[in-house]
Structure 1
Amino acid sequence: MVQLADDPFELLAPMICVGSFLLMLLGPIYLPRFWILCLSGYFLTFLATQINHLVKFYMTAKCIKKTINEHNAKARRQGQESGNLVTDSDLTEMESSLINSYSSDFLVHAFVVPSYAEPEALMKDTISRIAIHKKARTNYVIILAMEISEIHHRTKSENLKEYFKDDFLQFVITNHPSDLPGEARGKGSNISYGARKGTAEMIANGIEKNRIIITICDSDSHIPELYVSEVEKAFSRSADPYNRLFAPPIFFGRNCFKVPAAVRVTDITWSSMILANLSSSRGIGFPCSTYSISYKLADQVGFWDTDADAVGEDMHMMLKCLFKTQGQARMTPIFVPINLTNVETEGYFENLKARFVQAKRHYNGVADVAYTLRSALNLPTFCVDANGVGGSPASKPKVKLDENSCTTFWFDKIIIVLKVLETHFMPVTSGWLMFFAVPLMQFVFYPPQGYGPYLDPNMNPLLTSDFHLRVWNVLKFTTLFLPLPLFGTLGIYEDLHRFIDIELFKKTRNETRTWKNYFDYVSMPIAAWMFMTLPSNIASCKRLFKARDQYIVAEKVFD
């Protein structure tokens, strides 16, 4: 395990966390001029990033609608050509039998489905939704990645293998040991073991390495056949397909009306951030939950890291691919949403608690900050090597670039670092600063009647400096606009949610979100604090201790 003495970059997350809180309290009194300028810069930067996210979210939403509309139009044309007029209600049954002109039999899709204490019924439902795809028997392999530490894992896996014995080209079961040297228990280590062992079995059975596409999915991922078709289309059209990581948007619609509004709103916000991240002109972005990668790229970078600092396995794998290939690897968005389930358990408050536990686990991905900074500066990164031994510096990438490519990659490194810092430090700081910073400054600079001045009038920048007074007025004016990009994003999301439900998943208008669900957003302040600010601060401060977490999965009730 890496200690702070080995990696001083680990200090950055707790410093940002504690520093923003202390500056919020003490900055107006001891550093008033500095703090006014810092806070103004922070709010202007925050507003700019949110406007950027709104624009990119709109672009992604348009691409999703276009992809689904083209798919549905093609389905109708094929139905008419076969002499049968196809209606929207018939498309669900047709979906598994459509022939996509971009598909071929070249690629073999290996779906890695990690499981630890997941309901067997949920696993069966998830795999069943893949089994109805047209090419499941000829070009699909299920790699069921089980954990040996789970009680009755063999019984569950054998039941599933028997149930799906005739539905796929292969059904591979891997059993990940819980005591491998240098490993931290979690999804990442299970995926790495499952992908290595599962694809090795595929290769031993005669499947060529360059044909294998590995798709990582959660136990609750509903993967439409259209997603696989779009991956194949993107692969065939790419000039460098083996250096692409294919990333879809995520969508929470399977059980969204069975969970508290605060949980729904949290996952809507999470989904919106992922969608905005997909519209990247340079192919620098991060997948979430479900994504696809060629076997050749996974093998080139040494598969998935398995130490405690790779807990956010999806973002970490993208970062690893970017740095190990010197920027040749890129993200390719696939504009087909993957339908997931919200955390669900019995009882209202128990459900909130379960979502809080999941949020803490998600924000442990702040470990990627130190990894990104070290990789960007070409310093050794401490991770588990190909033999499963942890704690040693990872080898430097073998890819060599020409001078122009090196210059371009340095520019890309700056973008990567900024994206990672924004991802992890905006949640840590925004809760405190957005709610409390300006009111506290107002109280210190202009105390109400009955309170003595906290600052000597000669030290109060608003009384002694016209420049700082103008900055203060701009700061207060800016705060009025901070929520507007979020409101715009949520407005677009509501329209997109209904579109996806009706046009892709074939729900009726009564089964999707309506105007009544706008009242969900009343719970947003609670959701922001409980599922963003607090867990992100806890995860950042934990970097001081590098404690070993228990392997806890998000609870999901499945009927």
Structure 2
Amino acid sequence: MSKVVLPSLCELVAPSVAITALLLLPLGPILIPRFYLIFLLFYFTFFLYTQINHVFKFYLTAKHMIYNIRRWNRHEKVNTPDAFSTSSGTNSPQPTRERYVSTLNEENLDDVEASLKFYEDSRYVHTFIVPNYCEPEALLRDTIKRLANHRNARTSYVIILAMEGSEIGHEEKGANLLNYFKNSFLHFLITVHPPDLPGESRGKGANVSYAARNGCNELLLRGVERRHIILTVTDSDSAIPELYVKEVDRALALADDPYMLLLAPPIFFSRNSFEVPAAVRVTDITWSAMVMSNLSNSRGLAFPCSTYSLSMVLAERVGYWDTDADSVGEDLHMWLKCFFKTDGAARSAPIYVPINLTNVQADGYMSNMYARYVQATRHYNGVADVAYTLKSSFGGTRSSSLMSLLPTAGTGKNAMYISPYYWLDKLIVCVHVLEAHMIPATSGWLMFAAVPVMQLIMFPPFSFLALVEPATNPILISDFYSTLWNIVKIITVLLPFPLFATLGIYEYLHRIVDRELFRKAPTECRTWRNVVDYASLPISAWMFMTLPSTLACLKRLVKTDHEYIVAKKVFNEEQM
């Protein structure tokens, strides 16, 4: 029987917001029509502003991604002789590689030369933590094989295969993968997370924390220097390009303090996108677009999703990953923990290289839709981070883990610099976390239903449906509220346009990434005919965003242990 724990005041924020949104739909026009109109004006205006802001940020992220991909391709053309062939004609004896270099203008040559120092062998040991539970062995083998194909895999890559002790057959699966990749990496480690550890909630966070602690200790025993270990947490279906690792090295080399960075890439869904229903495709497209827009943050307050990197030094300093039920959103929660435990010193560095993920896939249309819904409910359980963020921001306590690092004089080599704008950054983080979790739980109801429901209540088609007397209808008796009502209706018409702009940018970006980074044939890429997928947006928005996020908020009223469920994936090695 699950232990029931009553929520604290901060934990009431999420369910209160969801309940208020639901109650306002029918009761707002009846009980508080004037206040409700003003509320809708401010809510829709704020939502429209944030969406326009996200469009510009998404555009910047897309621009950086395209630039990085094309710079990498230029570097590869110049520095990979095997990629070129010597012309056989008598009039063209010059090698294609040399011919390519001769066509580069001075600016491009400078760019290629500048990239060489960052694309050389890494000084870090890149340690990839691959947590998994009941994942197909073929999927894990394919994911790890992509890392094994990187040129520095044998000299600077470590794999930590994080198994779950409760999975039947995990020993055989781990042994098979170890034998398959025994000569492919610097080290290949296997950790087995014991089931039902006291105080733990089973999930990715608990598995990652166990794997990181034990795996790092093993690396230290094998003589790897602590400050050289860079941990990359990934999913079992994440295809990580070699360019990602190179860009991580670049970001660390350019950072003032590389040990205070969390490196966050965009996520991309292109491995099996044509094998799933359009509603699932569209959901993951919008999900990845939201992650990409979040990365272009000038203050280093971008949240990672699915795959991210940080130093062992930082992980060790904050006590590794939390493992309780409130840390179920392991990626965002770890970022928040690092930020708060270091008094704002830990920041994000965007890595503009997409990590290619697999869409949730099950046999049959309805089974696939249900599997995506299950995944959405698991994702939105991360609403627990709303309470964690509020407590950490306004709890009034300093990070105890840092007190010993701060000299009384505030100076010295080992002093931790605390920004005088830390209070502002905490406020911004709170707004971003509330936006990430409260907008999905409210926008679906208010955007789709607020205006139609209010129209029906205030102006019913039949007199017997009237719930508000014309004499008390503020829209009829007040020019101010009549104008306000018209403005609200106009804004609701404008609300989808930023999304349309985002999707237009995404379609262009998707083709470039598929063809220039993943080297897919044109027949394997999305075409403009795929825009018909977006007809399923209302279904995907309600089924995979509004409903699961609302339920996740309401479940915060009674905290119970979450069942450890993984998203189902049908994987065929032949199609990848």
TM-score exceeds 0.5:
yes
Deviations along 1:250-289, one digit per CA (max 9) or x if unpaired, are 0000000000000000000000000000000000010000
1:251 paired to 2:248 = no
What TM-score does the superposition give when structure 1 sets the normalisation length? 0.93
- Structure 2 SS opposite 1:109: strand
Partner of 1:499: 512
Match of 1:170 among 187, 201, 204: 187
Other-structure match for 2:117: 101
CA gap of 1:120–1:452, structure 2 versus 1, over 3 A, is: closer
Is 1:13 aligned to residue 14 of structure 2?
A: yes
Alignment partner of 1:187 is 2:204:
yes
Alpha-carbon separation, structure 2, partners of 1:274 and 1:289: 10
**Alpha carbons 1:374, 1:380 under 8 Å: kept:** no
Q: How does 1:187-206 map to 2 (within 5 A)?
A: 187-206=204-223
Once the two structures are overlaid, the 10-residue window that deviates more, 102-111 or 131-140, is 102-111
Question: Which amino acid in 1 is paired with 2:234?
Answer: C
Label 1:349 to 1:86 Cα distance change in 2 as closer, same or farther (>3 A): farther
Per the alignment, residue 346 of structure 2 pairs with 329
- Kept in 2, the 8 Å contact 1:76–1:85? The answer is no
> Which of 309, 314, 326 is 2:326 aligned to?
309
- Equivalent of residue 524 in structure 2, options 511, 527, 550: 511
1:237 equivalent among 251, 254, 257? 254
1:424 aligns with 2:441: no
Mark the CA change 1:551 to 1:6 in structure 2 (over 3 Å): closer, same or farther: closer
Cross-structure match for 1:96? none
Q: Which residue of 1 aligns with 2:497?
A: 484
Cα distance in structure 1, aligned partners of 2:372 and 2:402: 38
Q: How far did residue 380 of structure 1 move? A: 6.7
User: Residue deviations 1:344-381, cap 9 Å, x none?
Assistant: 11111100010000000000000000000000013579
Distance 2:497 2:423 in 1: 34
Q: CA, structure 1 residues 86+352, in 2 after alignment: closer, same or farther (shift >3 Å)?
A: farther
Report the residue type matching 1:544 in the other structure: L
Deviations 1:425-467 (A, max 9, x none): 1100011111111111112222224445422333221123322
Change (3 A) 1:473 1:6: closer
2:141 counterpart residue number: 124
Residues 311/379 of structure 1: CA separation in 2 closer, same or farther (3 Å cut):
farther
Of residues 156, 160, 179, the one that matches 1:139 is: 156
**2:40 is the counterpart of 1:39:** yes
How big is each residue's C-alpha offset from its partner over 1:55-114, in whole Å with a ceiling of 9 and x where there is no partner?
000000000000001111111222479875369xxxxxxxxxxx9531344200110000
Matched, 1:62 2:79: no
1:352 match: secondary structure: helix
Q: Which residue of 1 aligns with 2:472?
A: 459
Counterparts in 2 of 1:56 and 1:152: CA distance versus 1, 3 Å: same
- Distance, in Å, in 1 between the alignment partners of 2:569 and 2:319 is 32
Deviation by residue 1:374-420 (Cα, 9 ceiling, x = unmatched):
00013579xxxxxxxxxxxx956436597994530000011000000
1:433 equivalenced with 2:446 (yes/no): yes
Helix, strand or coil for the counterpart of 2:123? coil
* Aligned-partner Cα distance in 2 for 1:2–1:210: 41
Contact 2:277–2:369 (8 Å) recurs in 1: yes
Q: Distance in 2 between matches of 1:278 and 1:4?
A: 35
Aligned residues: 536
Instruction: List per-residue Cα deviations over 1:190-223 (Å, max 9, x = no partner).
Output: 0000011001100111101000000001001100
Output one character per residue of 1:16-64: Cα deviation in whole Å (capped at 9) or x when no partner: 1111100111010001111111111100000000000000000000000
Equivalent position of 2:384 in the other structure: 367
Q: Which residue of the other structure, out of 254, 270, 273, is the alignment partner of 2:287? A: 270
Q: Do the aligned residues in 1 keep the contact of 2:22 with 2:445 (CA within 8 Å)?
A: yes
Distance (whole Å) between structure 1 residues aligned to residue 240 and residue 217 of structure 2: 24
Q: Which residue of 2 aligns with 1:208?
A: 225
Task: Decide whether the 8 Å contact of 1:113 with 1:216 is kept in 2.
Answer: yes
Q: 1:479 to 1:228 in 2, by over 3 A?
A: same
Judged with a 3 Å threshold, the aligned counterparts in structure 2 of structure 1 residues 239 and 450 are, in CA distance, closer, same or farther, namely same
Gaps of 5+ in 2: 87-94, 99-114, 411-415
Q: Which has the larger radius of gyration?
A: 2
What's the counterpart of residue 546 of structure 2? 533
Q: State the partner residue of 2:101.
A: none
Gaps of 5+ in 1: 88-98, 382-393
Q: In the alignment, which of 411, 424, 437 is matched to residue 411 of structure 1?
A: 424
Moved over 4 A (4+): 1-6, 79-84, 394-397, 399-406
Check conservation: 1:188, 1:305, Cα contact below 8 A: yes
Asked if 2 retains the 8 angstrom alpha-carbon contact of 1:249 and 1:336, the reply is: yes
**Using a 3 Å threshold, how does the CA distance of structure 1 residues 151 and 105 change in structure 2: closer, same or farther?**
same
**Are the equivalent residues in 2 in contact too, given 1:4–1:11 (CA < 8 A)?**
no
How far the C-alpha of 1:4 sits from its partner, in A, is 5.9
Q: Indicate the residue corresponding to 2:456 in structure 1.
A: 443
Indicate conservation of the 8 Å contact 1:380/1:396, yes or no: no
Deviates more, 1:421-430 or 1:453-462: 453-462
Local SS of the residue matching 1:220: coil
Residue 110 of structure 1 aligns to a residue whose secondary structure is strand
Whether the 8 Å contact between 2:121 and 2:152 is mirrored in structure 1 is: no
CA offsets, 1:281-312, max 9 Å, x none?
Answer: 00001000000000100001110000010000
